[in-house]
Amino acid sequence: MDVAFFDRDGTLVYEPPDGLVRPEGFRVLPGVIEGLKTLKAQGYTLVMITNQSFYGDVSRIKCFEDTQELLFAALKAGGLAFDFVFLCPHSEGEGCNCRKPKTGMVDEFLREHEIDKERSVVVGDRESADGGFGKAIGVRFVKMESNGIFPMLSTSFL
C-alpha cells in the first residue's frame, strides 16, 4: 500500500497566526485539491495525521469538527475523501504517545497494513512534528511552507 500522510493545519487548510484553526476564515490552501487528485490517481491511500491540543475545551473541539466538515465538503466537491483520519487530542504537557513526532496514532494502522516505505510520503509544514514523524516511521518527508502552496508530488519525486 502506498500511503500519503498529511498534516492538516497549515498544510491542507489555512492556519492563523495564533495556531487555532476556526471555521471562520476557513480556506483550503492552493494546490491541495489538485495535489490530492494526482496522488489518488496514482493509487495512494490518503491519511490525515493531525495534532490538536484540545485542552478538554469544547469550543476547540467544535472548531476542529466544523473545520473537518468544511474540508471534507470541499474535498468531496473535487471527488476526494480521506481514507483514514488520525488525531492526537493531547497537548504537549500530557505526555501521550500519539502526538507527532510520536507515532501512537498510526501504530495500529501500520500493524494492519503493509505500507511501501519507498513510495509512501509524509507531507507537513513542521520539521519537528511532521518531519520527525516521517523519520520515526521510516517514510520520506516533504516539507511545505506553512500556509504555502501544496507541493505537486507527482513531478517532485514519484
Catalytic residue, candidates 2, 9, 66, 83: 9
Q: Phi-psi region for residue 21, left (φ > 0), alpha (ψ -120 to 50) or beta?
A: beta
In this structure, the strands spanning 121-124 and 140-143 are: parallel
Q: Are 115 and 133 in contact (CB under 8 A)?
A: no
From the list 8, 99, 100, 126, which residue makes contact with Zn ion (rule: CB under 5 A)?
99
83 is catalytic: no
From the list 32, 46, 49, 98, which residue makes contact with Zn ion (rule: CB under 5 A)?
98
Minimum CB separation from Mg ion for residue 49, in Å? Answer: 10
What is the C-alpha separation between 46 and 81, in angstroms, rounded? 8
Site string (104-133) toward Mg ion, x via CB under 5 A: ---------------------x--------
The single-letter code of the amino acid at 72 is F
From the list 29, 88, 121, 137, which residue makes contact with Zn ion (rule: CB under 5 A)?
88
Beta bridge partners of 47: 5, 84
Minimum CB separation from Zn ion for residue 88, in Å? Answer: 3
Nearer to Mg ion, 25 or 79 (CB): 25
- How many Cβ atoms from other residues are within 10 Å of residue 33's Cβ? 18
Q: Are 150 and 33 in contact (CB under 8 A)?
A: no
Residue 85 binds which one of Zn ion, Mg ion, none, with CB within 5 to 8 A depending on kind?
A: none
Q: Is the dihedral of CA 78, 84, 90, 93 positive or negative?
A: negative
Minimum CB separation from Mg ion for residue 114, in Å? Answer: 27
Apex 96 CA angle, 90 and 98, nearest 5: 80
Q: Is residue 4 a contact point for Mg ion (CB under 5 A)?
A: no
Binding residues vs Zn ion (CB under 5 A): 88, 90, 96, 98-99
Binding residues vs Mg ion (CB under 5 A): 7, 9-10, 125
Catalytic positions are: 7, 9
